[in-house]
Chain A
Amino acid sequence: MSSQSASTSNTDWPGRYHHIDQVLNSPGPRTDPAFLAGDGVKDFLRHQAKILVIGAGGLGCEILANLALTGFKDIHVIDMDTIDISNLNRQFLFRTKDVGKPKATVAAEFIMKRVPGVKVTPYFGKIQDKDDNYYMQFNLVICGLDSVEARRWMNATLVNLVDPENPESLKPLIDGGTEGFKGQARVILPTITSCYECSLDMLNKPTAFPICTIANTPRLPEHCIEWASVLEWPRVQGDKKMDTDDPEHIGWLFSVAAARAKEFNIEGVTWSLTQGVVKNIIPAIASTNAIISAACCNEAFKIATSSAAYLNNYFMLIGTEGVYSYTFEHEKRDDCPVCGGEALELTFSADLTVEGLIEMLVEKQDIQIKKPSLSSPKSQIYLQAPPQLEEATRPNLAKRVSELVPNGGEVTVTASTLPFSLSLRITYT
Chain B
Amino acid sequence: MAESLNIENATVTIATDAQPDNKTRRYDRQLRLWAATGQSALENSRILVISGSATSTSILKNLVLPGIGHFTILDNEKVSPEDAGNNFFLEGQSSIGKSRAEEAVRLLAELNDSVESKADTSNLEDILEKNSSYLTSFTIVIAHNLDPKLLDRLSTLLWSDVSHPTLVVVRSAGFLAEFFIQFHEHPIIESHSETAPSLRLDKAFPALLDYSLSLDFETMDPTDHTHVPYVIILVRALEDWKKSHEGKPPQTYLEKKAFKEGVLAMKIKFDEENFDEAESQAYRCWTETTVPSEIASLFQYPALSSLSPSSPPFFHLLAALQKFTLEPPYTLPLTSTLPDMKANTTSYIHLQKLYKARAEEEKERFKSFLTVPVDDSIVDTFVKNAHGLKVLRGRKWGALDADPTALANAISTSSKQVAIHLSLSALTALIMKQPGVAPTIEALTQEAQSLLPPGSEFPEEFSDAVGEVARAPTADLPNTAALLGGLVAQEVIKMITKQYVPIESYCVVDLVETWTGII
Q: Which residues of A contact B (CB under 8 A)?
A: 11, 13-20, 22-23, 26-30, 62, 65-66, 69-70, 85-86, 88-90, 92, 95-96, 114-116, 179-182, 185, 204, 216-220, 247, 250-251, 254, 258, 264-268, 270-273, 275-276, 281-295, 297-299, 301, 308-309, 311, 315, 317, 319-323, 325, 327
Give chain A nearest CB distance to B70 CB in angstroms. Answer: 18
Q: Are the CB atoms of B85 and A114 closer together than 8 Å?
A: no
Q: Are the CB atoms of B20 and A271 closer together than 8 Å?
A: yes
Q: Are the CB atoms of B472 and A290 closer together than 8 Å?
A: no
Q: Which residues of B contact A281 (CB under 8 A)?
A: 28-29, 32
Given contacts A14-B81, A69-B88, A308-B175, contact A251 B19 (CB under 8 A): yes
Q: Contact partner of A114 among B88, B341, B464, B473, CB < 8 A?
A: B88
Q: Which 9 A-B pairs have the closest CB atoms?
A: A290-B486, A15-B81, A291-B486, A29-B467, A294-B483, A294-B482, A16-B85, A69-B478, A22-B472
Q: Are the CB atoms of B92 and A116 closer together than 8 Å?
A: yes
Q: Which residues of B contact A320 (CB under 8 A)?
A: 3, 192, 500-501
Q: Are the CB atoms of B489 and A286 closer together than 8 Å?
A: yes
Q: Which residues of A contact B489 (CB under 8 A)?
A: 286-287, 290
List 11 contacting pairs A-B, 8 Å CB cutoff, sorted by A.
A15-B85, A16-B84, A19-B85, A29-B468, A92-B65, A271-B11, A276-B32, A319-B494, A319-B500, A322-B518, A323-B518
Contact with A along B474-485 (1 / 0, CB 8 A): 111111111101
Give chain B nearest CB distance to A60 CB in angstroms. Answer: 14
Given contacts A283-B29, A327-B514, contact A322 B468 (CB under 8 A): no
Within 8 Å of chain A (Cβ to Cβ): is B111? yes
Give chain B nearest CB distance to A14 CB in angstroms. Answer: 6
Q: Which residues of A contact B472 (CB under 8 A)?
A: 19, 22-23, 28
Q: Which residues of B contact A251 (CB under 8 A)?
A: 18-19
Central interface residue in B27, B54, B82, by most chain A CB within 10 Å: B82
Q: Are the CB atoms of A181 and B500 closer together than 8 Å?
A: yes
Given contacts A65-B88, A89-B66, A323-B487, contact A298 B514 (CB under 8 A): yes
Interface residues of B in 52-90 (CB under 8 A from A): 54, 58, 61-62, 65-67, 80-82, 84-88
Report the interface size for chain B: residues with CB under 8 A from the other chain: 98
**Closest A residue to B88 using CB positions:** A65
Q: Which residues of A contact B511 (CB under 8 A)?
A: 295, 298, 308
Q: Which residues of B contact A254 (CB under 8 A)?
A: 17
Within 8 Å of chain A (Cβ to Cβ): is B276? no
Q: Are the CB atoms of B4 and A180 closer together than 8 Å?
A: yes
User: With the chains together, A185 CA to B483 CA distance in Å?
Assistant: 12
Q: Are the CB atoms of B86 and A19 closer together than 8 Å?
A: yes
Given contacts A13-B81, A92-B61, contact A298 B88 (CB under 8 A): no
Contact with A along B457-474 (1 / 0, CB 8 A): 000000110011001111
User: With the chains together, A410 CA to B345 CA distance in Å?
Assistant: 47
Q: Are the CB atoms of B7 and A276 closer together than 8 Å?
A: yes
Q: Which residues of A contact B81 (CB under 8 A)?
A: 13-16, 18
Q: Contact partner of B111 among A92, A219, A272, CB < 8 A?
A: A92
Q: Are the CB atoms of B471 and A27 closer together than 8 Å?
A: yes
Within 8 Å of chain A (Cβ to Cβ): is B316? no
User: With the chains together, A327 CA to B512 CA distance in Å?
Assistant: 12
User: With the chains together, A322 CA to B516 CA distance in Å?
Assistant: 11
User: With the chains together, A13 CA to B26 CA distance in Å?
Assistant: 38
CB < 8 Å A-B pair total:
295
Other A-B contacts than A16-B81, A20-B478, A301-B479, 11 sampled, CB-CB below 8 A, are: A16-B85, A28-B464, A115-B92, A181-B490, A185-B514, A271-B18, A286-B61, A291-B490, A297-B478, A323-B487, A323-B516
Given contacts A30-B464, A181-B500, A320-B192, contact A294 B486 (CB under 8 A): yes
Q: Are the CB atoms of B7 and A19 closer together than 8 Å?
A: no
Q: Are the CB atoms of A13 and B32 closer together than 8 Å?
A: no
User: With the chains together, A290 CA to B441 CA distance in Å?
Assistant: 32
Q: Are the CB atoms of A315 and B475 closer together than 8 Å?
A: no
Within 8 Å of chain A (Cβ to Cβ): is B161? no
Within 8 Å of chain A (Cβ to Cβ): is B439? no
**Closest A residue to B489 using CB positions:** A287
User: With the chains together, A315 CA to B16 CA distance in Å?
Assistant: 39
Q: Are the CB atoms of A288 and B479 closer together than 8 Å?
A: no
Q: Which residues of B contact A181 (CB under 8 A)?
A: 3, 33, 490, 500
User: With the chains together, A259 CA to B32 CA distance in Å?
Assistant: 24
Q: Are the CB atoms of A66 and B482 closer together than 8 Å?
A: yes
Central interface residue in B1, B20, B29, B504, by most chain A CB within 10 Å: B29
Given contacts A16-B81, A29-B463, A247-B19, contact A273 B175 (CB under 8 A): no
User: With the chains together, A292 CA to B517 CA distance in Å?
Assistant: 16
Q: Contact partner of A294 among B18, B471, B479, CB < 8 A?
A: B479
User: With the chains together, A179 CA to B6 CA distance in Å?
Assistant: 16
Give chain A nearest CB distance to B44 CB in angstroms. Answer: 18
